[in-house]
């Protein structure tokens, strides 16, 4: 996952253009609404993801060590990209990035659509199974390079996602950008799991300092943001009312300002579920806190006409509100002692480990059960072949998480 908290932005297509109050309100209102969608639905999907017994659906767990190192790695990546854009041609770099995000966006959007496709796919239509297999060598030395099994539902999702991908690759249209951005954000919130609240506080605290430093202290974020053409942010035109879908004066919200608070909010939802009180107090309080923090960011930026790091306002709100609620309810100890990893099967991969898996989720589970029955060993301890590559849901999810992680090192500054 490659992700840095990207700050809220307003980028003017022309220096002379002044957005109307109606256009500004529509743009920022739409950004807030779009930001809430992946947080809400990603958090709900993270609960079912944590309870899944299928190894293909296991989330990536962030530990306190990962959280402590994250801002440092993010800073190094951000500054490295800054130097990269200074040395090499921006045109060729963005061409490579466009192709990379074209593939990644298709996989991410397909994974996002798959639960919906399972519901709307007509039962009268046959759901056939397919397999894409590439091997190297022959006989005993034969090894799998690609082993991708999928069905008709997956194929329909891939085809729809491919249409969006081609649209984005050719036109760079803001709607296609937002579809990819929403898919990246939703999957990030769903698949990135903090193991406890303390880890969340370390991560958000570190990125709070990171965001403030790189926005207020240097011009690195602004330079990278203006040079980096990729769906790592949500955009909405301020001149939509005047120019329609061809509008070009955008307000912008980075994915990091959605995913980073989002994974903390998702953790609190899983904590609510663990209390078994049929209540979502901490989830709703943190969700409302996010709305308050994002609204405050927009207000301050619009009032002072100056770049604002969104995490400066989001982190205190998203952490402070639930802690205050826990103090009033007398559950602060329970909150900080809660371990999200306890609800995930042992052997759940961590953020720093990206194992390669061969086969579809169904075939993988079947083959692991077979090995377990034959050897008497736990299927979760089965060592996977490092030479196998599967460009399916498991692989796309981990690549996407890696993408979001690196995005967190590309923040954009606010320009009113």
Q: Are 411 and 215 in contact (CB under 8 A)?
A: yes
- Any catalytic annotation for residue 151? no
- Any catalytic annotation for residue 369? no
SS3 per-residue string spanning the chain: CECCCCCCEEECCCCCCCCCHHHHHHHHHHHHHHHHHHHHHHHHHHHHHHHCCCHHHCCEEECHHHHHHHHHHHHHHHHHHHHHHHHCCHHHHHHHHHHHHHHHHHHHHHHHHHHHHHHHCCCCCCCCEEEEEEEECCHHHCEEEEEEEEEHHHHHHHHHHHHHHHHHHHHCCHHHHHHHHHHHHHHHHHHEEECEHHHHHHHHHHHHHHHHHHHHHCCHHHHHHHHCCCCCEEEEECCHHHHHHHCCCEEEEECHHHHHHHHHHHHHHHHHHHHCCCCCHHHHHHHHHHHHHHHHHHHHHHHHCCCCCCHHHHHHHHHHHHHHHHHHHCCHHHHHHCEHHHHCCCCCCECCCCCCCCCCHHHHHHHHHHHHHHHCCCHHHCCCCCCCECCCHHHHHHHHHHHHHHHCCCCCCCCC
* Residues 6+ away with beta carbon under 8 Å from 35: 185, 234, 253, 257, 258, 290, 294
What's the CA gap between 344 and 91, in Å, rounded? 44
Task: Please pick, among 211, 239, 272, 369, the residue that the annotation labels catalytic.
Answer: 211
What's the CA gap between 196 and 361, in Å, rounded? 28
Task: Please pick, among 57, 66, 239, 257, the residue that the annotation labels catalytic.
Answer: 257
Active-site residues: which are they? 211, 257
């Amino acid at each position: 996952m490659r992700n840095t908290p990207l700050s809220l932005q307003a980028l003017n297509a022309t220096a002379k253009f002044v957005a109307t109050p109606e256009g500004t309100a529509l743009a920022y209102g739409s950004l807030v609404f779009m930001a809430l969608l992946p947080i809400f639905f990603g958090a709900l999907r993270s609960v079912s993801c944590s309870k899944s017994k299928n190894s293909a659906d296991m989330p990536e767990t962030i530990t306190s060590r990962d959280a402590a190192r994250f801002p440092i790695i993010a800073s190094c990546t951000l500054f490295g990209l800054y130097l990269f854009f200074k040395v090499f041609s921006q045109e060729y770099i963005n061409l490579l990035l466009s192709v990379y995000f074209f593939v990644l966006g298709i996989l991410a959007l397909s994974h996002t659509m798959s639960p919906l496709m399972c519901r709307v796919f007509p039962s009268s239509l046959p759901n056939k199974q397919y397999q894409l297999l590439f091997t190297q060598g022959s006989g005993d030395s034969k090894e799998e390079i690609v082993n991708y099994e999928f069905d008709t539902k997956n194929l329909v999702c891939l085809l729809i996602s491919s249409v969006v991908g081609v649209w984005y690759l050719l036109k760079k249209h803001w709607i296609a950008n937002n579809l990819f951005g929403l898919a990246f954000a939703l999957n990030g919130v769903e698949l990135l799991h903090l193991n406890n609240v303390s880890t969340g506080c370390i991560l958000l605290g570190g990125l709070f300092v990171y965001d403030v430093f790189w926005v207020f202290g240097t011009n690195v974020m602004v330079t990278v943001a203006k040079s980096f053409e990729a769906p790592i942010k949500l955009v909405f035109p301020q001149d939509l009312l005047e120019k329609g879908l061809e509008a070009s004066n955008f307000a912008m919200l980075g994915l990091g300002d959605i995913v980073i608070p989002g994974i903390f909010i998702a953790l609190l939802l899983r904590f609510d579920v663990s209390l078994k009180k049929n209540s979502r107090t901490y989830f709703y309080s943190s969700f409302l806190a996010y709305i308050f923090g994002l609204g405050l960011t927009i207000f301050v930026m619009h009032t002072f006409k100056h770049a604002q790091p969104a995490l400066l306002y989001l982190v205190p709100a998203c952490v402070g509100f639930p802690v205050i609620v826990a103090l009033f309810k007398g559950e602060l100890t329970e909150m900080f002692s809660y371990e999200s990893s306890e609800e995930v099967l042992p052997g759940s991969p961590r953020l720093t480990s990206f194992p390669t898996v061969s086969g579809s989720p169904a075939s993988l589970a079947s083959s692991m059960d077979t090995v377990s029955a034959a050897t008497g060993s736990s299927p979760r301890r089965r060592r996977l072949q490092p030479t196998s590559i599967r460009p399916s849901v498991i692989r796309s999810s981990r690549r996407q998480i890696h993408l979001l992680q690196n995005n967190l090192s590309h923040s954009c500054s606010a320009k009113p």
